[in-house]
Structure formats: C-alpha cells, structure tokens
Structure 1
C-alpha cells in the first residue's frame, strides 16, 4: 500500500482535548500561536498542515499518541531532527509525534558507549562524546537528526574507518504499533534490530539508541577541511580521486563535490562565488602521522585553496551548518555508484558549470573500508560492495527559484543515472514511488517486508519510505 491510498479523517475536538490531558508534553494545534513554527521542517519546500503536533516528553507520550491515532483512524507522522529529504516528519491532517524535546545524551566513557534520545541531533551527540576523544559514525552535518540518519544507514566521515552508523548500533528502545515498548538488540527482538539498521522508520518509533563510540584523532582532534580546485580541473581531479581514495589508510576519508564557494569567511574574498570542485577531507589517526598520510591529498594539482587544519571532530561536523540553515528550499535526487566513470565525469562537468544557485551542489560520499567488511545481508542497509552514495541537490533560500533548482537537479540526474548502480541511499530519497524504495534495499527488501508484517502488520507507520507488510498489494 502506498501513501496515496490513505485518507486523513479528522478526529473530534473533544478527542484531541482528551489526548492533550494524557500527555506530559504539549499538544500543538492550528489554533496555537506556535503552530507554524512547530510544523516547519528543515526543507522549506515542505509546507504541510498536520492536525496536531505532540511534542512528546517521554516514551509514554509516544505510546499514547500511537494508540490515539490508531483508535481514531488518524494518519501518524514521526519527526526526529526534521532533516528528511521528503519531509515525512509532517503530513497534512496527521498527528505528528515530535521527538525534538527528547534530547538527553549519556556517555559511558569507560565502556565506549553513548545512549541517545530519539530527538537528538548529531551535534548533541558529538558535544557529549568528542570531549572524551570519541565519536559515533554519523553524517556530515551536526544539525542532522540522529534517528533519521541512523535508521537509514548513516554514511559519514568515519565510515571508512568504523563503518556506518548502523554498524555501531548496540540496541534501541522502540515503541511499536500497538503502543508497547521493547528493547531491540542482537538477542532480544533480533529481527526488529536487523530491520532498524537501515530500514528507516517502518517498524516503530525509536525513543532511544545505544551506540558504540570509537576513538577519533588525538583526544577528539582530527585534521580536516576542504581542498578546492577550479571547476575546469574537475575531470582531472575526479579521475585522480576515484583511483586514490580506495588506496588511502582508512583513517583518512573525503567526499567530493561540485559547488559554489560561499561568499563568507574563512574563504578568501577573491574566491567568493566561484564554481569549484571540492574534496572535504577528515583524518582521524595519530597526529604524528598526519603530515605523511595527507601529503598526497595536500599536494595534488593546482588547488585554489588548501584548508586542512587540526580541529575538534565536532567542528568539522558543524562546518556546513551555518551555510545551510533550516528553511531553505531543497530538491533532492540521488543514486548509488560503484564507480566514478568517465561518462559520469562528463555529466558532472556539464552540470557543475550550470549550478543554478549558490547553495546548489552535488556530493559523492564514499562507502568502503570498514563499511565494506559487513555482509550485505547482516543489516538492512544493502550497499556493502564499495563505491559512493551520490546526491544532487538544488537549494536556494528564495521560493521563486524552486523551478530553476528543481529542473537543474532533474536534468542532471536524468543524464547521470545511467552511470549509476541503479539503487539509492534511502536517506537521500524523496517521494519517488515504490520501485525506488525497493531499489534502496535490493535483496534485503523481502526480509524487511516480513519484519514489517511481524511488527507493524497494519502499516501504521506508513508516512516514510514505506515497506508494506509482506502480503500487502502495492501500487
């Protein structure tokens, strides 16, 4: 069953009042002054009007909302950090379970673990773990929500050395579709635990995660930052990068992209507004080996800027947050790539020259090293053969430019897609239909559908990249 098959009946006002009385957190409706702020998500292109937003204070609030929604036949959306590409954290006419008030983080430095509430961002987690010299593999922005990124897989700076976020997940506390709270780990609800590691929000509401932490740099200090090249050099840089990256020590990782140099410090003013090819590097190994390990990436070609420097890992994670505040217009397209082919490089060069706005960009994130050493069937995330998760995003603050950024991203993707592996990283997927959701999971899809049938047989959690329960017709 797909999203279009659902209607959104409205509950009676008295019922909403009864729900509000049972919650420890506030219930926000269209009559409340904070409604518009509460329904806003990271992608400013998403403008939906939920019936009510429950800012849950605890697992009991989450359970109460689930029971209420199912009893009333009401749509149910779940919001963590709000970064989701498709904006599934809100939905017209839905009751939104908003976890953003659940933000506690508890570090066990001796055990190298961290317990994280479902409403946390990765900035919350890094702020707690990096002072101990540790981090959990995450993404590339501190403002990203823990829940959305972790449940979709979690590709980031630490993936080459320590694997994906799901590879460091030790357990999860989950409120299920019937309102019960369970802990999923390798021995308790193991099928659910498998599905949570890449299967998205299909199986329940994760109210807390427990992750393994890993040593990063010297007391949390890494060497990182961008190396920028003239856009005309992009084909040469991409050919060099695709060959070099798999040969590098796993302590060094870097993503490559095409972008416009921001008109702000710390970039030199003479480079502001210039289109460029960028590689953002992160080295997490011993400081005394940094110079030797990074020499090949520091010295290649004729860079416009070499911005490599020691910094806390948390600072690298926050580097792009200011450039991409919440509320910008975003249009996403994405694919997985096993190689950066010459044909792909030609397409990148063409559309890099056509970047429509200063925020629009293309990124390729590596998935190799430790991330490859996990069997493709061991977690729901299936792409363990090496390569890159690619994303094309048209971005701008002005809604008037929505058409331009959308058309550029679509045209770019249309030409690039034939060079791809055919699948997609689910965290980069918009509302693109059942076939694209299937492509995100490959051979793992059928097992995910069986787990869905076990834990959410009525598809209560369908406002997401939906995996219908096994036996349910799709279309």
Structure 2
C-alpha cells in the first residue's frame, strides 16, 4: 500500500475528489442505512467511463481497497470502505430514451426514481424495486424485484446491453452477442465483475397503474388471504405485504398506533376496471384502516423516502419459501406479537408470473420457480439490542423457511458471506466463479457479496 497523493489525484480527475477535511466529506460518505461509519481515504466521482477506468487503475496502483457506490442502499455499507477508495457514480447521469424502439440507455449514477420519471413522460416504464432512491446499478446487477415483476419480469429480464469497465481498465460493450458470459453474469451476479456505467433497458407501455397503500388489520385470516389472493391473481398484480406495527401516520387512528397491521403496497399494471375486480377479494378481507389504492401514474408508486437525516438500523434476513399456509401465518403473527423490538416486520412478496417464465440458467438469478420471497427484520434501538433482535430474526426465519435454501443477493446483509451459495446455488456458482476468473482474477471487486475467482 502506498500513501495517497491527494493533489496528484485531484489533477488526474475532472470529477469531484473528496477527502477527509473537505467541507462536504461527511455528507459525501453518508449512506442510506445506519449502523456503519466508514471513513474512506478518498471519494472520487468520475465524469465518464474513461475516468471510471482511471479510478480502477488508481486502486491497482495504491493497493487501496475499492468500493463502488451507486445509490448507497447496501444494508451493511458495502458501497463504502474504511481507508480505501470509493468510486461514486453519481455524476454519470446521462439518459437517452428511444420512444419508437421502446428502449432507454441510462447511466448508473441515476436512481430508480430518476429513470422511472423520465420514461413515464412517454407512457413507458421499466420495473426496478420499490424505492425511488436506490441506484439502478446496484438493483440491476443484483436482479431487481419490484412492482412490475409479475407482469414484465425482473429488472434484469429487461436489460438488452450494458457498458462495463473491467478490472483491467477495459471499457466493454456487452450484450447477448458480445461478451455473452459477462452479460449473463452482471444480470444477477452483483457487482463482482466490473463497474457497469450504463444499461440499455427494454421499456413497456404503462400509461398508468392502479396502486397505492392498502392497510388492513393483521389477523391470520387477513394476512393469509392477502398473500393467497395476490399469488393467484392475474400477473398484472404485484404486491408487497408488510406485517408490522401501525406507524403513527396522520391517516392511522391514534388508538391503532403500534397495533399489528398489514401495510400492503399494491400495483396493478392494467385497466382500472379490471383492477377493481381483482382487488375486490383482498379489500373484502376486512374493513380497511386506510385504502389509498387508485388509478395513478407509475412513478407515484414510489413513496417519499422522508427525512434525509433518517438512517434506519436493523437486523434482517431474506429467504424464499414454497408454502405459506394458514397455520404458518398464525405462528408468524404470534412471533410478531411477542417480538422484543418495538418496530419489526415480516414482508411477503408473491412472485411467479413473468419472473417464473425465464429459465433458471438464463441469468445469474437462480430462483425463478420460487413462489414467495420473505424478509424478516427487527429495528435496533442501539448496539446493546442487536443480539436479541438478531436471534428473533433468525428464529422467525427458521420457522418460515421451507423448500430449498435460497436468498436474494440484493437483500443479504451481515449474512452475505455465509449465504452466497444460497444466493447462487450449484451450477450458477461454478459458472460465476469462472466468469470472475476471466474478468477479475485478482478479486479487485470484492466489496460485495463476493464470488471469488475459480
């Protein structure tokens, strides 16, 4: 390792170079989630792919560890690094929409909200996740499960091409016919294979959706009914079913604050009259506490993130499960009722539809046939609460798990290293390690759920 010559680095890059002592250093190093406090030696914001390659070269020259940041949403702070180099892509914000072709080239400094709003002006959409502030680079390389997944597939299912800066500084244009192994790997393999500087996405005609928040009381009948109805619904419907204490929002009666509710996020990508018919059985499960589901533009599905100074800290576990019967839902609710954390959540995402119509080996995401994704989380009140909250999350997850072990790489947290083989099982793992050996044999890109080179 060598000492970083800051003045030389500033001369070398047109983009911002931020180091400790600069007035904007603390803001620049901040991440979405709390719980980490990394202090990089330097944060560099390149202005083009050539400068991205220059940052990669700098990491080789200095021996400093490299972290790549898009939106900064990694739950355990992998997009920053103590004493190392943060390659912050936020200045790569070019976007080029081809309305006739229904495609968009978008640089990876853009967020899901940025791209969604831009293409919605033409009545078009590409599905990302459920947060507007997540970076498109991170969510896409990991897979992308969100409000349009059952209708139009995961984000990676709509990637047509990409531009990638590899560990040796090459700037490659990749697609199904050019570097097809790398193109396969960056669709679900995370940030292990290079720095993606832009993606070309297929767009879909989505002039509007019927969507929003549907809050219901959390009984076993309601939770089981919501999940079951959503899973059996036409694939135009995608939902996120959060079972959690009612937050103190203005539309929630004060006497219900803290009581267990279903905080359902609903998105129907089809005609409004059809949406009403499909949603009727879900609405009929109980008298809604709040029903904000209505015809809206697709960008309105992304709820406001709130206070920029709010950085939640939680312990969480992600898994796939094959069965969520009434008895199991009852047990989950009992655990939520007696949890040690004042704020805890179990989140259910029915999958299927377009997600399941893609072969497991078509992309590096290997869980196409799994019907449900589940996330269990407990928020921390301080470091002394972590151990008991972690144990509650582990025990609750063990109760829910059935079918083959599995995990979604974008939602892995502290357990990322030990569960990488669950994210990428068997043949997928072996293939990824071979691609890693070809494009990053020295494992430069290791601040991630890491895949070591074969």
Q: TM-score range by the shorter chain?
A: over 0.9
Show CA shifts across 1:256-311 (max 9, x none): 11122222234455544432123221111012323222222222233333221122
Q: For the residues of structure 2 that align with 1:177 and 1:341, how far apart are their CA atoms?
A: 47
Residue 433 (structure 1) shift: 5.2
Q: For the residues of structure 1 that align with 2:231 and 2:308, how far apart are their CA atoms?
A: 29
Query: What residue is the counterpart of 2:335 in the other structure?
Result: 351
Residue 357 (structure 1) shift: 5.7
Query: What residue is the counterpart of 1:3 in the other structure?
Result: none
Query: What residue is the counterpart of 1:413 in the other structure?
Result: 394
State the SS of the aligned residue for 1:333. strand
Structure 2 matches for 1:259-278, cutoff 5 A? 259-278=244-263
Q: Is the 8 A contact 1:343 1:419 kept in 2?
A: no
Residue 18 (structure 1) shift: 1.8
Report the CA distance shift for 1:138/1:326 in structure 2 as closer, same or farther (over 3 A): farther
Query: What residue is the counterpart of 2:113 in the other structure?
Result: 123
Residue 125 (structure 1) shift: 0.7
Query: What residue is the counterpart of 2:433 in the other structure?
Result: 449
State the SS of the aligned residue for 1:435. coil
Show CA shifts across 1:352-405 (max 9, x none): 224566654221122210000000011000001132221122336xxx534436
* 2:405 matches 1:422: yes
Query: What residue is the counterpart of 1:114 in the other structure?
Result: 104
Structure 2 matches for 1:6-21, cutoff 5 A? 9=1, 11-14=2-5, 16-21=6-11
Residue 337 (structure 1) shift: 1.4
Q: Is the 8 A contact 1:329 1:402 kept in 2?
A: no
Show CA shifts across 1:54-82 (max 9, x none): 02221122111101111221111000000
Q: Is the 8 A contact 2:14 2:46 kept in 1?
A: yes
Report the CA distance shift for 1:360/1:324 in structure 2 as closer, same or farther (over 3 A): farther
* 2:211 matches 1:230: no
Query: What residue is the counterpart of 2:22 in the other structure?
Result: 32
State the SS of the aligned residue for 2:355. helix
State the SS of the aligned residue for 2:425. helix
Q: For the residues of structure 2 that align with 1:347 and 1:40, how far apart are their CA atoms?
A: 38
* 2:221 matches 1:245: no
Show CA shifts across 1:327-374 (max 9, x none): 222322211112224564244212322456665422112221000000
Q: For the residues of structure 1 that align with 2:336 and 2:416, how far apart are their CA atoms?
A: 27
Q: For the residues of structure 2 that align with 1:105 and 1:269, how far apart are their CA atoms?
A: 45
* 2:78 matches 1:88: yes
Q: Is the 8 A contact 1:135 1:213 kept in 2?
A: yes
Q: For the residues of structure 2 that align with 1:416 and 1:342, how far apart are their CA atoms?
A: 17
State the SS of the aligned residue for 1:276. strand
State the SS of the aligned residue for 2:91. coil
Show CA shifts across 1:94-151 (max 9, x none): 1110011222322211111111111111110111011222111110111111111111
Show CA shifts across 1:182-240 (max 9, x none): 01110011000000000000000011111111122xx2x21112222223x1x212322
Of the three residues 273, 289, 294, the one matched with 1:309 is 294
Q: Is the 8 A contact 1:338 1:385 kept in 2?
A: no
Q: For the residues of structure 1 that align with 2:387 and 2:319, how far apart are their CA atoms?
A: 16
Report the CA distance shift for 1:359/1:62 in structure 2 as closer, same or farther (over 3 A): farther
Please say which of residues 269-278 and 433-442 is displaced more in the overlay: 269-278
Please say which of residues 260-269 and 189-198 is displaced more in the overlay: 260-269
Q: For the residues of structure 2 that align with 1:72 and 1:355, how far apart are their CA atoms?
A: 47
Q: Is the 8 A contact 1:356 1:405 kept in 2?
A: no
* 2:242 matches 1:257: yes
Q: Which runs of 5+ in 2 are unaligned?
A: none
* 2:133 matches 1:149: no
Note the aligned Cα RMSD (angstroms). Answer: 2.0
Q: For the residues of structure 2 that align with 1:298 and 1:360, how far apart are their CA atoms?
A: 24
Of the three residues 371, 382, 394, the one matched with 1:401 is 382
Show CA shifts across 1:430-452 (max 9, x none): 13254301110113111011110
Q: For the residues of structure 1 that align with 2:110 and 2:408, how far apart are their CA atoms?
A: 22
State the SS of the aligned residue for 1:293. helix
Please say which of residues 107-116 and 192-201 is displaced more in the overlay: 107-116
Report the CA distance shift for 1:433/1:308 in structure 2 as closer, same or farther (over 3 A): closer
Please say which of residues 432-441 and 138-147 is displaced more in the overlay: 432-441
* 2:276 matches 1:291: yes
Q: For the residues of structure 1 that align with 2:416 and 2:43, how far apart are their CA atoms?
A: 26
* 2:184 matches 1:194: yes
Query: What residue is the counterpart of 2:367 in the other structure?
Result: 383
Of the three residues 295, 315, 321, the one matched with 2:305 is 321
Q: For the residues of structure 1 that align with 2:387 and 2:273, how far apart are their CA atoms?
A: 46
Report the CA distance shift for 1:338/1:454 in structure 2 as closer, same or farther (over 3 A): same
State the SS of the aligned residue for 2:105. strand
State the SS of the aligned residue for 2:138. helix
Q: For the residues of structure 2 that align with 1:326 and 1:457, how far apart are their CA atoms?
A: 39
Q: For the residues of structure 2 that align with 1:20 and 1:194, how far apart are their CA atoms?
A: 36
* 2:208 matches 1:208: no
Query: What residue is the counterpart of 2:314 in the other structure?
Result: 330
